[in-house]
Amino acid sequence: MKLVRFKFEGRQCYGILEGERIIEFDGDLFNMGEKTGEIYDINEITFLPPVDPPKIICIGFNYRAHMRELREIATKKPTLTLKAQNSVLAHEQEIILPRNSRRVEHEAELGIVIGKGGYRIKNPGEYILGYTIVNDITARDIEREMIQWSASKSFPTFCPVGPCIETDLDPSDLKIKCWVNKELRQDSRTSLMIYNAERLVEFVSQFMRLEKGDLIATGTVPGTGPLQNGDVIEIKIEGIGVLRNYVKGGKL
């Protein structure tokens, strides 16, 4: 089931995405009510980020090929970086390039949405609501200048996510692709993760309490590259869909 959050005539709504239409339901992602009877075409609504996460946890060094392209030494465990909650951006909206970065890059990632709170979790599958697409936008020059990576990842609009949360998905071997202006930049599979999705939930929960709605970006596949004003970036993950955003420069 593909869950979406959207706006229609100024009203925030929740629904189930089926092809080109959305079936509205009462309640929210965590307390689904009955279907309202309203059905919308995707061209008449505005997508919102499918979740408003209390925390965004970014995993680093979870694909060996990406470590090699960054010339990083392999670590025994993945890194954890917190990304600002207000960096979240919806499908079809604009990524704004900040004036104080000379190199901003895309990072195509599988996202885990937490369905209920927990600490030091032992049965992680029970805590996962579903999976989404995350573009962990990163100011690479700032990342390389600073020990703490949060500053490079937390600019406004630096966390495109969506368009939906797929609740019925085996994430163990999904195709991930990323195009910039129709040029294929990233092409890999989730089966190449060092830590798989459930193991990441268990790992992260050893250091912080996870809450419902938290978003874990599971690390990027190889092929990250720079973004420029006017670019169109599309990320496709098998079984979820396509996250599309537009790049605009020089505003922030």
Rounded distance between C-alpha atoms, residue 178 and residue 181, angstroms: 10
> What is the longest distance spanned by two Cα atoms in the chain?
54
Per CATH, the number for 49-249 is 3.90.850.10
- Give me the pLDDT at residue 70, please: 55
- Give me the pLDDT at residue 148, please: 82
Rounded distance between C-alpha atoms, residue 231 and residue 251, angstroms: 15
Cβ neighbours around 51 below 10 Å, total? 26
Structure-token pair, residue 211 = 């809450």
- Give me the pLDDT at residue 29, please: 95
Structure-token pair, residue 81 = 């970086």
At residue 175, the 3 state secondary structure works out as strand
- Cβ atoms of 40 and 24 within 8 Å: the answer is yes
Rounded distance between C-alpha atoms, residue 196 and residue 92, angstroms: 28
The pLDDT averaged over each successive group of 10 residues in the chain (252 residues) is 97 97 97 96 98 97 69 71 98 96 97 98 98 98 89 97 98 98 97 95 98 98 95 99 94 62
- Cβ atoms of 40 and 8 within 8 Å: the answer is yes
pTM of the model: 0.95
- Give me the pLDDT at residue 63, please: 87
> Which CATH homologous superfamily contains domain 2-47?
FAH (2.30.30.370)
Cβ neighbours around 179 below 10 Å, total? 19
Domain spans, the chain: 2-47, 49-249
- Give me the pLDDT at residue 25, please: 98
- Give me the pLDDT at residue 67, please: 58
At residue 207, the 3 state secondary structure works out as coil
- Give me the pLDDT at residue 77, please: 81
- Cβ atoms of 35 and 25 within 8 Å: the answer is yes
